[in-house]
Amino acid sequence: MAVTTMSAYPHESIPLVFSAEVADAIHEGLPVVALESNVITHGLPYPENAATARKVEEAVRAGGSVPATIAIESGKIVVGMTDADIERFASTPGIPKVSSRDMPVVLAQGRMGALTVASSLVAAELAGIPFFSSAGIGGVHRGAETSMDVSSDLIQFTRSKVAVVSAGAKKILDLGLTLEYLETQCVPVVSYRSDDFPAFYCVSSGFRSPMRLDDDDVIARAIENHWALGNHSSFLITTPVRPEEAIDSDEVDAAIAEATAAAERDGVRGQAITKYLMRAVDAATQGRSSRANMAVLISTAEVGGRLAAAHARYRREVGG
């Protein structure tokens, strides 16, 4: 049974439709992890996309939390997609990818929309869910000093009070500048049980993480401290892909260099460059990067479930 609530805005109300499981979990103070729906509609083909979405939710449960995959449908934000919802989104072609800037229009039009990292953070905060998990975040693109191409994910981190668990960002981005941007915006970056900032399906980006924490309870306290200090921004926790499921960093770098040169030659620019480079890496690795992509979705979700459980436990202890 779905539960609908209205989130008050000065001139409008945004309807949130919760699954019964997610509504009960939030009411009881149980750990919930928000998940993006974009991986369903813009990732693998059907029916692999639906199967993967279910595996990601199962991984959150294995970590000890309740999954809440979020999407937009019929002018409402759906918080906690049912199995039927996942099946419908997975099998319906042409569902648009909706970032935070697109949300007001898509909601007003009453259309279906698959949420990205940025828009999922907006929805999670509105829903009262303090944890979000994604395989990889967006970042500063290579050549951003001239293109100004910076992912809205990074901007949204400065605005949404949500803890984000991810496997870092893709190596096709400028990860050095991505870390610089996060530092400038005072967004904490903590690597969980690793010294390095990971690069999606590569264990390391080649950059050291600003901070390392190994204890779940310490991370929970750090998150609460960040918000208690008056910050209304995200807290980023990275966790690397398992070594046995990772792609060799040098192999990916070589594929990116070759694909970047080809893209320049073919005039591929703007938003098209990301998909172009990712397909080139997949081809160069004989499809292993696609399998690693699926693996990192699942492993990150499990860690997110575990850390959200520790955070919920800490809040209960502090609250008495």
Q: Which domain holds residue 253?
A: 130-320
Question: What would the pLDDT profile of 216-252 be if each residue is shown by its tens digit?
Answer: 999 999 999 999 999 999 999 999 999 999 888 888 8
Domain match, 165 and 124 both: no
Active site residue 170: yes
Determine whether the annotation assigns residue 151 to a binding site. yes
Determine whether the annotation assigns residue 196 to a binding site. no
- CA–CA distance, 243 with 196 (Å, rounded to integer): 13
State the helix-helix crossing angle for 272-284 and 249-266, rounded to 10 degrees: 130
Domain match, 220 and 196 both: yes
Looking at the chain, the whole-number percentage of residues with pLDDT higher than 70 is 95
> What residues does 173 pair with on adjacent strands?
141
Domain match, 302 and 226 both: yes
Nearest by Cα to 312 from 52, 131, 51, 86 = 131
CATH at 52: 3.40.1790.10
pLDDT value, residue 276:
81
- Number of Cβ within a 10 Å radius of residue 210: 15
Nearest by Cα to 175 from 136, 140, 211, 137 = 140
pLDDT value, residue 262:
84
Active site residue 36: yes
pLDDT range class, residue 12, cuts 50, 70, 90: low
pLDDT value, residue 109:
96
Average of per-residue pLDDT across 81-99: 97
Domain boundary residue, one of 79, 99, 129: 129
- CA–CA distance, 82 with 31 (Å, rounded to integer): 18
Determine whether the annotation assigns residue 74 to a binding site. no
**Residue 137 backbone dihedrals phi, psi, to 5 degrees:** -95, 165
> What residues does 208 pair with on adjacent strands?
196
Total residue length of the chain? 320
pLDDT value, residue 145:
83
Domain match, 123 and 144 both: no
Domain match, 143 and 245 both: yes
- CA–CA distance, 163 with 14 (Å, rounded to integer): 22
Q: Out of 36, 73, 125, 302, which one is annotated catalytic?
A: 36
Average of per-residue pLDDT across 139-164: 92
pLDDT value, residue 269:
75
Determine whether the annotation assigns residue 149 to a binding site. yes
107 pLDDT above the threshold of 90: yes
Domain match, 74 and 142 both: no
Q: Out of 57, 73, 170, 302, which one is annotated catalytic?
A: 170
11 pLDDT above the threshold of 80: no
> What residues does 202 pair with on adjacent strands?
199
Determine whether the annotation assigns residue 215 to a binding site. no
Domain match, 160 and 108 both: no
pLDDT value, residue 9:
40
* Identity at 163, one-letter amino acid code: A
Average of per-residue pLDDT across 294-316: 96
Query: How many structural domains comprise the chain?
Result: 2
Domain match, 46 and 184 both: no
Looking at the chain, the whole-number percentage of residues with pLDDT higher than 90 is 74
Domain match, 49 and 152 both: no
Domain match, 144 and 113 both: no
Domain match, 115 and 135 both: no
What would the DSSP string read from start to end of 215-238?
-HHHHHHHHHHHHHTT--S-EEEE
